[in-house]
Structure 1
Amino acid sequence: MASTQDITAGQDWPVEEAPGVDVRAALSADFRLQSGEALAATEVVGRIYGVAGAPLVVVAGGISSGRDAARWWSWAVRAGGPIDLNRIRVLAIDLAPGRDETVTLTTTDQARLLAVLLDALGEPVVDAFVGASYGGCIGQAFAAAFPERIGELVVISAAHRAHPSATAWRGVQRRLLAFARDCGREAEGIALARELAMTTYRTADEFDWRFSGAAPAEAGQPYPVCDYLISRGANYAEVTSASRWIALSDSLDRHAVAPEAIACPLIVLGFTSDRLVPIEDIRELARRAPNLRRLEEAPSIFGHDAFLKEREVVGRALHAALSPLYARPSELAA
C-alpha cells in the first residue's frame, strides 16, 4: 500500500497504488542535450498504466516525480480517479539525469527524451499531456517542440518562464547543495536544502495554522515548525543526490517557452497563493496562448503544493479536461 497525507484532515488516507508495466527505449549513441552534453544514461525508462488500446495521456510532475505516477499522485492516477485508469492509458517517465550526474539540461531535453520513448512504443501522438509543476513546464516544451504529437495540454502550477524570485530561492539551494557535497556532507546538505525548499512550497498561513505555539525551552532547540521541516529533509536525502538536484533545479530556471508556440488546446490551473509560480505569470501564459480552452484560478493554503493537496479542485479540473477522452470507446486487447 502507498499512502498520501491529507493535511486538511490530519490523517493518512490509504490509496492502493495501481499496477503498471515498465517500458524502455534505447538512446542513440549520438543523442545530445541542447547544451551539447551527453547523458550517462543509455535508455529512457517509463511506465504505462491503464487500459490497452485506450487514449494515451502523459502524466508528469515535480522534480521528485518519475515513472511511478500512481504513487506520487496516487489519489489522481487510479481506477475511477480523476485520471481514470479504467478509461485511459497513462505514460510517465523517469526524468533525466541519473542520480549522480550533473548536466545542463532543459525542459525541451526532457520532452525530446519522452519523444524517444514514444517512438519506441509506436505512439505518434499523445491524446493529452497532464503536467504539474516541473511536469507542466515539460508539457509546454513538448507542445512547442512537437505540435503534431499532442492532442491537448493541461498545465497545473506552472508557467512559461521561471520567476526571478523562484530562481533566487533555488539558487541558494543549489549553492548549499554544492557546498555540502564538496565538503563531504552531502546528505546533510540535501536535507537542509529540502527544508529551505519546503518553506517556498507552502504558505505562511499554513505554517501559522499548524505551528503557532510556545518557543522551546533553550536557544538552539528546534521549534515545532523546524521539527516538521527536519523530518521532510531527512526523508528527501534518501531519494536523490546533490548533483541530480542541482541539474533539475537549474533546468527549472532555464525553462522558457513562448506561449504563442503552444498551438494545441490548453487548460491552465493556478493557485493564487503560489509563490514559486505567481498567478500573474499563469495568467500571462493563458492570455498569450493561441488556443486556450480554460483558465482556472483557486485559493489554497498549500501554495505551490496545492497540486498535490487540493484533491477536489484539481480532481474536478482533471476530470473536466479528460472527460472527452473518457467518452471514446477503448480497443481492449484480446
Structure 2
Amino acid sequence: MRKEAIMAPKVLVFAPTGDSHKFLEQNGCEVQLGNPQWHVPGGDYEAEYISMAKGAVALAGSSMRATPTSRRVLQALPDLRIVAKATVGVDDIDIEAASELGVLVTHAPVESNWGNIAETTVMFMLSLLKGQMIQDTTIKEGGWWTEGRQGAYVGSRNSDGYKGITLGIVGLGRIGGRVAHLMRPWNINILASDPYIPEYRFLEFGVQPVDLETLLRESDVVTIHVVLNKETKHMISARQIEMMKPTSYLINTARGGAVNELDLINALEKGTIAGAALNAYEEEPLPPESPLRFMGNKVIMRPHGGSPLRTTGPEAPAGRGAGQNSQWVNNDILKALKGETPEHVFNAEALPLWLERFKGKDLFVH
C-alpha cells in the first residue's frame, strides 16, 4: 500500500541569524525567510507578515521591533506551537497573547550574548570616564590634550586613600551581576537596586543594596540592566535624570524603552548630566534624524546587539552560523514540533495549555 507523503512542518524565520535556518531544513522543515523590510521603522508590514506565516507551526528569529509578533499575528496562526527567539529579550513578542493561546515563547540567554553586553557596558563606562572619545577627536584634529577633559581615575588608591568612583547598577540579574564581577578588582564602590532578587545576590557580587533614588543621587555612573515591561517602561525619565550628579553618566545596554529618550536628549542638551552611552534605543534602527546622532562626544553609541553573530570557517557546521543561541533556537523548535517541551521556555504559564494541545503530537511522524 502506498504511503501518503508527509508534509514538512513550516517554519517562518522572520529575522534570520546567519545560516542557522539550514539546520532546520536539513532536519525536515520547510523554511521560509521573512522580508528584510520588516525591520525598517515606520513601515506597515503586519499583513504581509501574517500572509507569509500562514500555515506555520513555528516562528523564529532575532529581534524585530519594527514589525513585532503581535496578538493579531499570533491569532492568525491556529497551528502555531512556538516562537523561538535567538535573543535574550522577548519584548517584540506579545507574551500575554501567546500564553493565552497556548503558544510557547523561547529565548536564548546564552553567555556569549549577555556576557558580551556586560563587557560592552564596562567599555562604555571606561570610555566615558576617561574622556576617550574627545581625546581621540582632539588628536585626530591636530591637537594634543583637551583642556579640562583628561578623564577620571576610576579605581581606588592606597597611596592617598582615594576611594574610586561609585558605580550604580539598576538590575542585578545576569548582566548586572557580571558587570559587578568585572569591576570588583578595581575596588570601587558599587551600589545596586533590584527589588526582585534575594539578599545573598548582593553579597555574592560585593555590592551595596540601595533604593533607586539613592543610587541615582550617589553614583558617578548609572548603568541600566532591566527587562522591558510595564513596570520598567521609562523608569528613567526626566525626574530620575535630574536626581543624578551633573558630572555623572548614564549607560543603557538593556532596552531602549527603559529610558525616556526625549528626556535624556533634553538632559544632555541642558547639561543635566555629563554624558551617556547607548546600544539600546526606543526605535531601532535609530532614525537618521535622531538628535542623538548629532551630540558629538556627549554620547557614545553602538547598534543594539550583544552576541558574536557568526562562527566562520569550514569547521562551522551548517546551521550553526550564529553560534550557541541558534543551536538553542533550532533545538527548541525541533522539540516543539515533535510534541516535546522545549528547554528554554520564557512564558512557563503557557505550558498547561500547550501540553494539552501538542504533547506527544510529532509532526515528523505521519
Answer whether TM exceeds 0.5 for this pair: no
Q: TM-score range by the shorter chain?
A: under 0.3
Q: TM-score, normalised by structure 2?
A: 0.25
Q: TM-score, normalised by structure 1?
A: 0.27
Q: Which has the higher helix share?
A: 1
Q: Which has the higher strand share?
A: 1
